[in-house]
Structure 1
Amino acid sequence: MKQIKTSVIPTNQTYVKVRAPHELDKKAICIFAATSYFLGTDTYWKDEKVLPPGTINTIDDKGNWVDSQPWFKWHYSPRDISFDQAVNEFTELFHTICKEQASNDTVLLPLSGGLDSRTQAVAYSKLGNPVLSYSYSFHNGYKEGIIAKKIAEVLGYKYNDMTIREGYLWDKVDQLAKLLNYGTEFTHARQMAVIEEFRKMDGVFTLGHWGDVLFDSPAPKDLTEENVEEWLLKKIIVKGGQELAEALWKEWEIEGEFMPYLKQRIKEVWDTIPIENVSAKARAYLSSTRAVRWTNLGFAIFEATNPVQAPYYDDRMAAFICGINEEYLADRKIQIAYLKNESPEVAKIIWQAQKPYNLYTFQKNKSPYNLPYQIVDKVKRVINGKLGKPFIQRNWELQFLGMENDEKLQEHLFGENLHPFLPKELLARFYNNFKTKNMVEYSHPLSMLLALAVWYKNEVK
């Protein structure tokens, strides 16, 4: 017998065998198709599972998972402290975690226009580590690097600007699929486009994932236990995902209906969280599902080139969050206060989510104050569109649009007979809907079908 302890929010997934038939778990795959990630401990197979977060697990001598006991449970126990004290405690904890994770190594820091990586950037300016920062933007998309470069300049960091170009997926699709362990669709992993640049770097990646969920209210203020099911379904089902899941459910002749099954599975997870505050409970739900079955999958791409750390995934951060009042966590208050305290110059740089405003002025991002910016921004997009430079906002636009991309996509979907797993009629239906009906609506189903096709060809056939 051996035991495996998992973190509260693991940075990777631990796969284990269970005593069950070696059969496709088609119900689990349908949820995967609808949401982009597997739920709970599910995988493609009934006899393979992923260890749940925050647990101590027993594995028998034959390698089978036989028991799991929680060592951590999400809770909401706000301490009677002031907001300034909460900010000071976060500052001390965050600096401690960042220093321990990076030690004395060079920090490889992906910078964005948001707050999570900006908070890390300021932290490392206080800790003395050498920092190599970089950012990437879509070709013909919003130049996120403009903001990142300004942050790097203020803090005196080396900076590298990268561009995510169209069609990067096709010569890397098998490599990417294996790195992600086929656990999500492929078009969101834009860092794969610059993996060769990563190989030239030497240091430790420190990633800011999940800070935006821990340090904000993930649920609307009027959310109650009575309407939480509807909110969760909207939160986790990707556009077009329900249609694809129901089509697969019908094609595979699974008993019952898909949506009642999905609702049942969601309720099972939700009901195990012993928290009355709905916002705190929603954070715990997302942290124990999406964070560990989707968000952390991309870490493997970075890890293929250099060690990876993620300060917001540290167990101490989860424990800290459980003791902080929701009012302090809402609206990114703690991170904003931290940045203003530790680096006012960085706080004055545009916040991408509130552009063209910064951390001192973002309250003005409403009518009529933001109308001039919105008008100018729209005019620029219209002009660029007429000049043949459409504004790229989504990863799938770089992978699915254009003749060369279309040829590669069809080759992967229709090049081999995937029946009975993915019949050609079903593939053709969603492909044609993407081409002729609504690209935005059907981009996710098409991307999921691509992921399923690559998995089936590489791992089953």
Structure 2
Amino acid sequence: MTIKTPILPSKQQFAKRPNQPHELDLEAICVFMATGFFMGRDTYWKDEVCLLPGHHHTIDDAGFLVNSEPWFQWHYRPRDLSFEATLAEYIQLLTTITTEQVGNQPVILPLSGGLDSRSQALILKGLDNPVHAFSYSFEGGYPEHRIAKHIADVCGFGFESFSIKPGYLWDCIDDLAQINGCYSEFTHPRQMAVLPQLKAMTGVFSLGHWGDVLFDRGAPEATTEADILPLLFKKMVKPKGLELAEQLWQHWDLAGSFKDYLVGRIETDLAAIAIDNVSAKVRAYKTSQWAHRWTTTNLRVFEAAHPITLPYYDNRMCHFICTVPEAYLADRRLQLAHLQQDSALSGITWQDHRPFNLRNYGYNKAPYNLPYRVWAKLQREVQAVLGSSYVQRNWELQFVGSENEQALKRRLFQADFHQFIPKHLVHDTYQHFLKTDSVHYAHPVSMLLTLSQWYTQNRGSL
């Protein structure tokens, strides 16, 4: 059997790896702890691989991977086209892909305050499909759903808003672990909090994942070839995740140093990308690693409710990106120019530049943004005085507060789990989260929670 994987797969596929023992891949698990995703073909096991994107894979009757050959290589061959011609081609391509993907079915559109889903809304606005949009905001956080509702109203879509409440994770963590296979930590897919409501909707999802990476700079403007490795390392690795990974590396008595191992992995994968342009090379690396092994993992949550479509994941979109001059992709130029053709949509607040919109976001700098910054800070302080903290991060809903702490500790401090991860390491990490630096230690705590859940489900195989 031959499996041809897309350039950006919407789901991960796995195969057996021949001539390998059924043992834990401890090096891969350390990378997972440091970054939040598995790299390349890695899985929890030495005898199992995740099929690489953009490859032809030969699988034998027993499910073993016999051979893999790439059918696509990321490249950068910009065409000599004007910005206006490129914009027209982008709009036509996004329209064609979206039209083909949704067919004549009703569309379910998750809306945010950014550009990707707003770009989809502009395309869907011109189609005949009924569209039901939705958005969610953290309880006690920024009301992102208000921007989304404004977009939906302008486009004539039905709309539903949800408030993501503290502690929702503990009612659905077992289901989430089954859905994503514990290949991603559990604090990010907030759609799990409203999965029953999503299942009650009708249609196919149109998801805007990865548009923000494809249609922006791959790297800061002044980045040189020598800067790529440290840049990627800094973006990939969570500082306290690195600390946890190094502790596990030493506990498992693995050869060499973890940091050297991870740097070597990044260097090897970078060397396989034959692109001279720094920005394009970094984007290609991110897409082949992050998109495939992190972003794609939690698409299965949406798929648990309804079929999914992803216009930015389409092979044609990836081929298109390889031919667009970096100057046209930088700073979201194509998406902004597309949206600025609609005065109503472009006049709605851009969340990343609030309170400014897509036409005046250039004023999001001092002194023009000072009144809003002062007002927002005052609002947070008043909220704190009234006894409710301002929620900005996913983990704050799941880990903060007495009930959350009790549920988290029940998962982290299971006696069986400490046969896998030593109790003192779990205890020290959790105490740092509680007393030292909750913002940065939230990542290793979340990764330990993921390992605990995975271990509970798989201990019979160990």
Partner of 1:18: 17
In the TM superposition, residue 252 of structure 1 has moved relative to its aligned partner by 1.0
| 1:44 match | 44
Runs of 4+ in 1 over 2 A off after TM superposition: none
Map of 2:386 onto structure 1: 387
Secondary structure of the residue aligned to 1:109 is strand
2:249 counterpart residue number: 249
Q: TM-score, normalization: structure 2?
A: 0.98
Deviations 1:270-296 (A, max 9, x none): 110010000000000001000000001
User: 1:62 Cα deviation (Å)?
Assistant: 2.0
Residue deviations 1:270-324, cap 9 Å, x none?
1100100000000000010000000011111111110001100000000000000
Equivalenced residues, count: 459
CA drift at 1:14? 0.5
Aligned position for 1:363: 362
The 3-state SS of whatever aligns with 1:460 is helix
Matched letter for residue 203 of structure 1: G
- Name 1:423's counterpart in structure 2: 422
What residue is the counterpart of 1:354 in the other structure?
Answer: 353
Question: Aligned equivalents of 1:346 and 1:168: distance in 2?
Answer: 33
Unaligned runs of 5+ in 2: none
Counterpart of 1:325 in structure 2 is 325
2:236 and 2:199 map into 1 onto residues whose CA distance is 34
Does residue 450 (structure 1) correspond to residue 449 (structure 2)? The answer is yes
CA contact (8 A) 1:95 1:127 kept: no
Secondary structure, counterpart of 1:357 in structure 2: coil
Q: 8 Å contact 2:167–2:397 — kept in the other structure?
A: yes
In structure 1, the residue matched to 2:334 is 334
In 1, are the aligned partners of 2:218 and 2:281 still within 8 Å (CA)? Answer: no
After TM superposition, give the deviation of residue 263 of structure 1 in Å: 0.2
Q: Which residue of 2 aligns with 1:143?
A: 143
Contact 1:151 1:349 in 2 (8 A): yes
Q: What SS class does the counterpart of residue 232 from structure 2 fall into?
A: helix
The one-letter code of the counterpart of 1:158 is: G
Separation in 1 of the partners of 2:389 and 2:40?
39
Q: Deviations over 1:10-60 (max 9, x none)?
A: 111010001111000000000000000000000000000001010001112
Shift of 1:419: 3.3
- Counterparts of 1:253-264 in structure 2, within 5 Å, are 253-264=253-264
> Does residue 32 of structure 1 match 2:56?
no
Partners of 2:285 and 2:459 lie apart in 1 by 32
* Counterpart AA for 2:135: S
- Please give the secondary structure, in 2, of the residue aligned with 1:135: strand
Three-state SS of the structure 1 residue aligned to 2:134 is: strand
Q: Is the 8 A contact 2:205 2:308 kept in 1?
A: yes
Q: CA RMSD in A?
A: 0.8
- Equivalent in the alignment of 2:209: 209
CA offsets, 1:352-403, max 9 Å, x none? Answer: 0111111110111111111111111111111111111211001111111111
Q: Secondary structure at the match of 1:419?
A: helix
1:172-321 equivalences under 5 Å are: 172-321=172-321
The Cα of 1:239 is off from its aligned counterpart by 3.8
Aligned pairs for 1:147-166 within 5 A: 147-166=147-166
Q: Aligned-pair distance for 1:202? A: 1.0
Q: Aligned to 1:294, what secondary structure does the other structure show?
A: helix
TM-score (norm 1): 0.99
> Hey, what does 1:130 align to over in structure 2?
130
Question: Alpha-carbon deviation of 1:174?
Answer: 1.1
- Structure 1 residue ranges without an equivalent (≥5): none
Whether the 8 Å contact between 1:239 and 1:444 is mirrored in structure 2 is: no
Match of 1:406 in 2: 405
Distance in 1 separating the partners of 2:32 and 2:67: 25
Kept in 1, the 8 Å contact 2:184–2:298? The answer is no
Moved more, 61-70 or 262-271: 61-70
CA–CA separation in structure 2 for the residues paired with 1:344 and 1:94: 19
Question: Which amino acid in the other structure matches residue 302 of structure 1?
Answer: F
Structure 1 window deviating more from structure 2 (432-441 vs 317-326): it is: 432-441
- For 1:408, the aligned partner's letter is A
Is the Cα contact below 8 Å between 1:219 and 1:282 reproduced in 2?
yes
Superposed CA offset, 1:398-444 (max 9, x none): 11111111111110111332233111111111011111111011100
Give the partner amino acid of 1:406: E
Are the equivalent residues in 2 in contact too, given 1:6–1:52 (CA < 8 A)?
yes
Aligned residue for 1:360, secondary structure, equals coil
SS at match of 2:417: coil
In the alignment, the residues of structure 1 paired with residue 338 and residue 274 of structure 2 have an alpha-carbon distance, to the nearest angstrom, of 30
Could you say what secondary structure the match of 2:145 adopts?
Answer: helix
Amino acid at match of 2:425: L
Match for 1:337: what amino acid?
A
Amino acid at match of 2:447: M
Aligned to 1:72: 72
Aligned-partner residue type, residue 70 of structure 2: P
SS across alignment from 2:132: strand
Partner SS, residue 15 of structure 2: strand
1:126-175 CA-to-partner distances (Å, cap 9, x unmatched) read 11211000000000000000100000111111000101000000121111
Does the 8 A contact of 2:209 with 2:295 survive in 1? yes
Give the distance between the partners of 1:201 and 1:447, measured in 2 at CA: 31
User: Is the Cα contact below 8 Å between 1:177 and 1:455 reproduced in 2?
Assistant: yes
Contact kept in structure 2, 1:417 and 1:424, CA below 8 Å: no
Checking the alignment, whether the CA contact within 8 Å between 1:36 and 1:294 is kept in structure 2 is yes
The one-letter amino acid of 2:97's match is: I
CA distance in 1, matches of 2:12, 2:30: 20
Identity percentage over the alignment? Answer: 49
Distance in 2 of aligned mates of 1:297 and 1:216: 22
Following the alignment from structure 2 to structure 1, what is the Cα–Cα distance between the partners of residues 73 and 192? 34
Deviations 1:66-119 (A, max 9, x none): 111111111000000000001100011000000111001111000000000000
